[in-house]
Amino acid sequence: MSTIRKPERLQKIISAYGAASRRVAEKMISEGRVTVNGITAKTGQSAVFGIDVIAVDGEPLTEKNDRVYIMLNKPGGYLTTVSDDRGRKTVMELVADAGVRVYPVGRLDCDTEGLLLFTNDGAFANAMAHPSGNKIKTYRARVRGDAAKAAKLLTEPLIIDRYTVHALHAEVISLTTDGGVIEIAVAEGRNRQIRKMCAVCGVSVCELKRTSVGTLELGSLESGQWRYLTQEEVLLLG
């Protein structure tokens, strides 16, 4: 006896079949990039996968078993976005040779370097991005100002964009005549959070690099290079 498929929201279908995260899928729908049976989809629309023909950017959505998970050492100067209408460089250029369409998980600011994940597994992307996942992210920030004082203040409650946040860990790695390097670990991932936290604590960030996400560490991966995650790494992240 065959299973009867029920209509589901388009963004959920697109995410489940690895074309994009739900948030990105919603944006694609609003931009008119998704069609159902050849007709441009509308926000909030539902469909039945396997009966309705759903296409993203003209490419029909198909059921795939080949899930891909990639870690990139993002250089500065690249936007974490799929495309940019101003022609600026995006991280998609750096993973163009992956052989499959993947999407960034979360984001790093244009000037921020380091560990950035990509996948075509929408469920994995959603789990990684959701606050309940509580994935600890570690950064190294080269700052100008009193680094020792800032490191102490970073672990105390700070108001950033009306939210109370704090570093789980902040340690001075080295000191210079005008500042130093601080290792900072946070559970949140709000917009420009580390830079804003440092500013509140009296230092300015000159360079910022993410070195780990959860159990996954950047290691010796060269800037601008990427590699596939092992099955064990994916399981540990999940």
| 25-78 tens-digit pLDDT | 888 899 999 999 999 999 999 999 888 999 888 888 876 557 889 999 999 999
Fold of 69-132+218-237: Alpha-Beta Plaits (3.30.70)
Q: How far apart are CA 180 and CA 30, in angstroms?
A: 44
Alpha-helical segments (H) within the chain: 10-16, 22-30, 122-129, 147-154, 193-200, 231-237
109 flagged as catalytic: yes
Tokens of 12: 């959920």
Report the 10 Å Cβ neighbour count for 155: 16
- pLDDT tens digit string along 97-155? 887 889 999 889 999 999 999 998 888 888 887 666 668 999 999 999 999 999 999 99
Contact between 177 and 166 (Cβ < 8 Å) = no
The ranges assigned to domains in the chain are 8-60, 69-132+218-237, 136-213
Question: 214 or 6: whose pLDDT is higher?
Answer: 214
Write down the pTM of the prediction.
0.74
Q: Which of 84, 109, 111, 146 is catalytic?
A: 109
Q: Considering only CA atoms, which of 49, 31, 48 is closest in space to residue 40?
A: 31
State which CATH number among 3.30.565.10, 3.10.290.10, 3.30.930.10, 3.20.20.370 fits the domain covering 8-60: 3.10.290.10
Contacts of 207 (CB under 8 A, 6+ apart): 113, 141, 142
Mean pLDDT of the chain: 89
User: Rounded mean pLDDT of 12-20?
Assistant: 74
